[in-house]
């Protein structure tokens, strides 16, 4: 049975969907005022993997990933650029879709935009006011009264006293308590007209937290299976989502054993650069599209999934080169098989059982990939039908993680983007022909010099029976 680490309970739990055979999954998506960076790539690839495994396990999955298209940063960037907000957001939504397509990610089943759910947000805010969990301050903002929601802090493990002791922000915007957070922001005179909507509390726009509560509840219901996102969203964003959604449903009388908004909370770890958290404020972030100018999309995916999704990972070119070397090893095993057959997996196969056990242990991709490496070793020492069968198993299992779906020879000969332009395939084939001619003339030192020449340029030759020479790039 699938076990998922639930951030809410801080433990692995058997996965039991609310409705048998179906999974409702919501993932916090992008705030679209800039290009996506590799931190975004991690959350996109991790939950792409989760969806693929759930579907491979037989579940019908409804995958919702939102787009935040109204936000303080979006307004600020649009004003700085002197362009309409909708032009800015559409440009970066298009760019995000381009990145997702290049990474060969599954499309979410629904991709709601915050600006299309203003009515639902206002409805939820209205219920919170009726339940006396929200109030309008003197400045016009509508705020959530954190201390009136008894279960606040369950997800983050933070008590209200701890939060208050760490609070350094003065009470502004008519807040009664510095811990209170905004649900509806009153419009400012100098903000663009397209950043404001009419409401019972005056012109304004939604706060960030209420957006996801309204979209997830509208599309998946008041109670759904899995909510995912990056570890940085655990507090305050996801903590506030719980307070809003459950507060709107139960009010101040909410009890721990009341039906929760979400059964399982999943958070992927940070990407670090030189052992520091990657962030725009530190200027140490890398755009997906820039990374993919230097590395194949499958290499970036392999780099991210060879670590457990909850662990922090350190980004560097050396780490990506190591990931590519791992893929080369796996593709080489496939390239050595006479053929690869498309086949259904045999559940009795020890390789399938090991892979399944790893994935069912909280999506343990490092162990699943280790099984693929061991399977590749077995392929390399097998022959005939056994080699074909094992190679077919490797191809199918890796396909569950969206690896090894290229033609092996094409991948191996493409090489890394740093080296693949040094010699064309035609030039390499010409030098191989020169080497073969030297060997026929018994000029073995000349043949060895050609092999060494190609090796120094990142091209590895492998002589096969019958005089055939195969090649790949390092």
Strand arrangement, sheet containing 271-273: 276-277, 271-273, 313-315
Beta bridge partners of 277: 272
CA distance 71 to 209: 10
Q: 12 forms bridges with which residues in the sheet?
A: 5
What is the maximum alpha-carbon separation in the chain? Answer: 94
* Residues ≥6 apart with Cβ < 8 Å to 405: 395, 398, 399
Helix axes of 425-440 and 444-456: crossing angle, nearest 10 degrees: 160
Distance CA(467)–CA(463), nearest Å, equals: 7
- Provide the 10 A C-beta neighbour count for residue 344: 6
Is residue 212 marked as binding?
yes
Flag whether 464 is marked binding: no
The CA-atom distances, in angstroms, between 277 and each of 151, 268, 269, 354 are: 30, 13, 10, 33
Q: How does DSSP classify residue 236?
A: I
DSSP secondary structure code for residue 100 in this structure = H
Q: Which of 220, 213, 215, 214 is nearest to 24 (CA)?
A: 220
* Paired tokens of 288: 């997906």
Q: Rounded to an integer, what distance in angstroms lies between the CA atom of residue 110 and that of residue 119?
A: 18
From residue 137, alpha-carbon distances to 52, 213, 247, 305 in Å are 46, 22, 19, 46
Residue 293, helix vs strand vs coil: coil
Which residues contact residue 391 at a Cβ distance below 8 angstroms, ignoring those fewer than 6 apart?
333, 334, 336, 337, 340, 379
241 is in an annotated binding site: yes
Q: Is residue 36 marked as binding?
A: no
Q: 217 among the known binding-site residues?
A: no
Separation between Cα atoms, residue 50 and residue 113, nearest integer Å: 22
Residue reference for tokens 């009664």: 176
Picking from 452, 28, 41, the residue whose alpha carbon sits closest to that of residue 266 is: 28
- Enumerate the known binding-site residues for Zn(2+): 28, 212, 237, 241
- Enumerate the known binding-site residues for ATP: 280
- Enumerate the known binding-site residues: 28, 212, 237, 241, 280
């Amino acid at each position: 049975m699938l076990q998922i680490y639930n951030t809410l309970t801080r433990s692995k739990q058997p996965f039991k969907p609310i409705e048998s055979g179906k999974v409702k999954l919501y993932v916090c998506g992008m705030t679209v005022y800039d290009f996506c960076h590799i931190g975004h790539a991690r959350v996109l690839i991790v939950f792409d993997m989760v969806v693929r495994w759930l579907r491979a396990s037989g579940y019908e999955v409804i995958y919702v990933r939102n787009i935040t298209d109204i936000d303080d940063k979006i307004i600020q960037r649009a004003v700085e650029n002197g362009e309409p907000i909708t032009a800015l957001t559409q440009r970066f939504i298009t760019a995000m879709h381009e990145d997702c397509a290049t990474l060969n990610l599954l499309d979410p089943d629904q991709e709601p935009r915050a600006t299309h759910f203003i009515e639902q947000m206002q409805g939820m805010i209205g219920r919170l006011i009726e339940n006396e969990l929200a109030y309008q301050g003197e400045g016009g903002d509508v705020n959530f009264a954190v201390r009136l929601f008894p279960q606040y802090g369950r997800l983050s493990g933070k008590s209200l006293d701890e939060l208050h002791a760490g609070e350094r922000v003065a009470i502004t915007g008519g807040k009664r308590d510095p811990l209170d957070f905004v649900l509806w922001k009153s419009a400012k005179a100098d903000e663009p007209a397209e950043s404001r909507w009419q409401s019972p509390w005056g012109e304004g726009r939604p706060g960030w937290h209420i957006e996801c509560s309204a979209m997830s509840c509208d599309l998946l219901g008041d109670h759904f299976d899995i909510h995912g996102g990056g570890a940085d969203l655990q507090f305050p964003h996801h903590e506030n989502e719980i307070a809003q959604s459950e507060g709107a449903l139960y009010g101040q009388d909410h009890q721990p054993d009341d039906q929760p908004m979400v059964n399982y909370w999943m958070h992927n770890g940070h990407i670090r650069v030189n052992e520091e958290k990657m962030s725009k404020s530190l200027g140490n972030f890398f755009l997906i599209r820039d990374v993919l100018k230097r590395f194949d999309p499958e290499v970036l995916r392999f780099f991210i999934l060879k670590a457990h999704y909850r662990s922090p990972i350190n980004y560097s070119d050396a780490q990506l080169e190591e990931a590519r070397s791992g893929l080369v090893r796996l593709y080489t095993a496939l390239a050595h098989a006479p053929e690869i057959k498309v086949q259904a997996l045999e559940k009795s196969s020890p390789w399938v059982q090991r892979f399944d056990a790893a994935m069912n242990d909280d999506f343990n991709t490092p162990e699943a990939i280790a099984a693929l490496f061991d399977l590749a070793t077995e392929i390399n020492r097998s022959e005939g039908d056994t080699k074909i069968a094992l190679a077919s198993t490797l191809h199918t299992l890796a396909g569950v993680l969206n690896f090894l779906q290229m033609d092996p020879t094409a991948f191996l000969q493409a090489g890394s983007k740093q080296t693949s332009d040094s010699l064309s395939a035609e030039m390499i084939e010409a030098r191989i022909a020169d080497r073969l001619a030297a060997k026929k003339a018994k000029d073995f030192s000349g043949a060895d010099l050609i092999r060494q020449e190609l090796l120094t340029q990142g091209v590895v030759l492998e002589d096969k029976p019958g005089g055939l020479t195969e090649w790949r790039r390092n």
